[in-house]
Amino acid sequence: MTMNIVPLRRSLCLLAVGIGLIACSDNPTLNTHHKDNGLKNHPPAQGKCAGWQRSLSEGKKQQDVAYCLRELARTNRAEAVAEATIMADWPIKLVPNSDLPELIAAMHLYPQPGQLLDYLSSLGLLAHNWQQLPSPEYAITASDYLSSLAAVAWFDTETGFFPNEHDGLLHMLAKHTDLSDVKFEEVAPPYSSSDRQPYQLFAEVNGHRYQQQAQNYGDWYDVVAVLDLLNKVAQQEQRRSRFIQFASTDQGSIVWVVDKQPLASLYQAGLLRYEPYVLAIDIGKASEAKVLSSVPK
């Protein structure tokens, strides 16, 4: 049978830092309660980062506040932790290209340098052949550490040819995981297609056939579609591997293959963000198990 997968067109970008500075303002219109949600929208005080509470709940000002926290942490981590703790209970809307929730969670839960690194190591998430530890002044979030120290796959998102052979990428990512028995296939659009007709990707295992549409970006992989297919097959076939993309500063892609159990622990703690379509099942099951384990028998 064939299982169609609705494409998820949002990238799993887990690290993005804004380039603007927070500007404090004396404008009295900012220091009011919002008539809908009752949240104040004070700008941060001079030298502080906690502010714009209503804006953060609406998905605004997040890169500014994240940049402020990172800059402050480089010179005065204790003060940055204090600012993060103020915002720890604020409602912050999850939006693409913002790592503010992870920054706040990391500094609030693991205030001392090295504590988060030790926790990630205790979960067995770090590779054994560490080349060089990231500087504590720059590595704050779980994504900061994992993108450097976990077992990740790096590849160029631009293939330089057509068709892109997404099936080759799928095989490469699945080769050393519990999806190594899955067969992948790509059906490419016509080369002369002027309307960017999509690719069709297929995965076949245990008599099940899964289908995933991938966007036609010329000679670039649709990495999101590739990871959608891998994660959906892993879930449906009761496999443990999950495939997560970290943000990159160039055209390369960074994909982390990780066991679903420690990954769910990071999500539950707010140390990583997740895409609801791909991984909500894992989060839900982990939360349910935690509740059941706390019920007296």
> Which residues, in sequence order, are bridge partners of residue 211?
4, 202
> If pLDDT is split at 50, 70 and 90, which confidence band does 194 have?
low
Pairing of strands 183-187, 2-5: unpaired
CB atoms within 10 A of CB 135: 10
- Summarised one tens digit per residue, pLDDT across range 111-169 is 998 899 999 999 999 885 555 666 656 789 999 889 888 888 989 998 988 899 999 99
CA 230 from chain centre, in angstroms, equals: 16
Name the most confidently modeled range: 88-97, 176-185, 256-265: 176-185
Does 293 score more than 80 pLDDT?
no
> If pLDDT is split at 50, 70 and 90, which confidence band does 229 have?
very high
Tokens 């005065």 found at: 76
Q: Alpha helix (H) ranges present in the chain?
A: 53-57, 62-75, 77-87, 100-109, 115-122, 142-149, 166-174, 223-236, 260-268, 276-294
> If pLDDT is split at 50, 70 and 90, which confidence band does 103 have?
very high
Global pTM?
0.73
From residue 31, how far is each of 25, 28, 64, 256 by CA, in Å? 10, 5, 18, 43
Mean pLDDT of 42-70: 95
pLDDT at position 29 is: 28
